[in-house]
Structure 1
Amino acid sequence: MRALLPALAVGLVTLSYGFSSVSAMQAQTPVTAASPYSYADIADLATIAPMAIHGRIYKAVALKPEQAPGLKAGQARLYVEADVVGLIRGSGPLAARVSYLVDLPLDAKGKPPKLKKKQPILIFARPVAGSAAGTNSTASVRLVSPDAQLPWDPATEAKLRAILTETVKPGAPPAITGVANGFHVPGTLPGEGETQLFLDTRTGEPVSLTILTAADGSRRWAAAFGEIVDGSAAVPARDTLAWYRLACGLPRALPLAKLGGTAPEDRKKAVSDYGVVLGALGECTRTRTPPAGS
């Protein structure tokens, strides 16, 4: 029976949103090239995967079309066995080798891609019931999306670890699913005003946006992750978990139906204020299709 690898817990590091976190191990490993994946690409997977595994390909076999129900056009389904180099996220012991199915694009010749033995990879997965370590030499896992296997490189792992560090912090920003309600009220001076928007989240935890307009027309905004609405809070820095939740979770247009009881003119101001928030956050840049549930 193959040796078992102990789980490696994701270390907790106390940091403010907007600052990168790098483990001591990463600090000893120079990163010479940028990751080919955006922050959102990695966060899409890291925030929903119970397991993140650094592995190396042991073998990969392309399945026949009749063995791959639901396979999308232009893709191949492969049965893969990978040796575990390290468990970046997860709990409990894990077999030294895991097996899973992955859907990858066909190559330029329309053939299934060739995964070379010992090729380093990152796997985002869930354990399969009945395939616990210690019962089989190879444990089965299920990817969190059909293509949740990425090529490994130091920069991508560093980005993954930074994201995971944020996700396990107390009060980590939850996934945003929409706008619950909101309003705009004029200020005491001409031109002044305040818009408050309360957001729906997957966990039910409160998240709100406050946009303040001064008499001179200048505007500032803040996001509050928690019960306390603080209009002076800092704007989330790009490529942080708070930024990702907002930039990738907010709808592209403010649903006016959520501004019940707000006068038509004030609704227009709320829409304008919402546009300021979206503009400040910038695009949620992705190079791959996000998995369902991210």
Structure 2
Amino acid sequence: MPRSGQAAIAALLLLLGQAAESQPVSPPVGPTYADLADLAVTAPIAAHVRIARVDRLRAEEAASAPAGHRRFLVDADIVALIRGAQGMPARIRYLVDLPNDARGRPADLRRRSEWLLLASRSPVRPEELRLVAPDAQLPYSAELAERLRAILRESNAATAAPRITGIGRAFHVPGSLPGESETQFFLQTANNRPISISVLRRPNEPPRWGVSLTEVIDEAAPSPARDTLLWYRLACSLPAQLPRASLSEASAEEGRAIEADYRFVMETLGRCQRNRRPA
């Protein structure tokens, strides 16, 4: 291989770093909403690409590849840039580690096959990308591309739900009628934007809850639909059990009511299903 090619491989190996050592690749089934969101919300670049050339690296050039995997240097043409700064070159290059098949043979990464990439850009070589996770090369399909675009549209909106980092105080207020009450949970976020959850109980009515994304608590706010960004932020970030610190200002009776309402919220949200290990 020419020295220029060896230098390019060395630069890409530095970009790849050690992330591949502890991350699984190629989940056995298709990605869930949470799988896609885990990759997409942190990826500066999302692209639909078509492979132009594949070189399998020698063992000494891929010493940090996980056991049972081979490392490939891929040149690909961008079919469509789904997210990313303008001025991307038409052809890009990246490294990917793929698992061997059941017989120990290297994966077959075919020329002209199409993929979706979630990646970041080299600060010094605009044509070189680094996958945001070892499994951030996904087989292209129109359906998967549209799911990805929907997540990115939501995450790019000015009103997008921020990343939740914890739960602050929770308060419970009994109503004037038997069986009437309101519980409020104030969530902590990465950018300090307000998010609160309100659980309302009324006599002879099923309990309901909603989410407010402003400092003004809207009792009419709905609960989030499944497989939306707000649902993902809640279902995949909130702890299974309410932290004891959230009940520091509640009496024993109020604490029991708050915990019951928290269980109601979590049961209604449903499980955050993942088929891959989040980065």
Q: Which residue of structure 2 aligns with residue 116 of structure 1? A: 110
Q: Which residue of 1 aligns with 2:95?
A: 101
- Where do 1:134-153 residues align within 5 Å? 139-153=127-141
- SS for the counterpart of 1:278 is helix
- Determine whether 1:67 maps to 2:61: yes
Structure 2 partner of 1:92: 86
Change (3 A) 1:228 1:103: farther
1:174 aligns to 2:174 (yes or no)? no
Equivalent residue pairs, number: 251
Q: State the shift of 1:48 in Å.
A: 0.7
Q: Secondary structure at the match of 2:153?
A: helix
Q: Which residue is equivalent to 2:32?
A: 38
1:123 Cα deviation after fit: 0.5
Unmatched segments (≥5 aa) in structure 2: 1-28
Out of 158, 177, 180, the position equivalent to 1:192 is 180
The 2-side partners of 1:231 and 1:73 are apart by: 53
Q: Percent identity?
A: 45
Q: 1:70, CA displacement in angstroms?
A: 4.4
Segment drifting more, 106-115 vs 199-208: 106-115
- Considering only aligned residues, what root-mean-square deviation do their CA atoms show, in Å? 1.9
Instruction: Confirm whether residue 52 of structure 1 aligns to residue 40 of structure 2.
Output: no
- The answer on 1:286 being equivalent to 2:274 is yes
Task: Kindly provide the amino acid, as one letter, of the partner of residue 156 in structure 1.
Answer: L
Once residues 122 and 226 of structure 2 are traced to their aligned partners in structure 1, the CA distance between those partners, rounded to angstroms, is 35
Residue 174 of structure 1 aligns to a residue whose secondary structure is coil
> Following TM superposition, by how much is the alpha carbon of 1:55 offset from its aligned partner in structure 2, in angstroms?
0.2
| Distance in structure 2 (CA, Å) of the matches to 1:63 and 1:148 | 19
Q: Secondary structure in 2 aligned to 1:205?
A: coil
Q: Can you give the 5+ residue segments of structure 1 that lack an aligned partner in the other structure?
A: 1-34, 133-138
Aligned to 2:6: none
Secondary structure of the equivalent of 1:208? strand
Inter-partner Cα distance in structure 2 for 1:39 and 1:250: 17
Q: 1:195 to 1:104 in 2, by over 3 A?
A: farther
Structure with greater helix share of residues: 2
Per mean C-alpha deviation after superposition, the further-off stretch among 70-79 and 276-285 is 70-79
CA–CA separation in structure 2 for the residues paired with 1:260 and 1:101: 50
Report the TM-score, using the length of structure 1 for normalisation.
0.80
Q: TM-score, normalised by structure 2?
A: 0.84
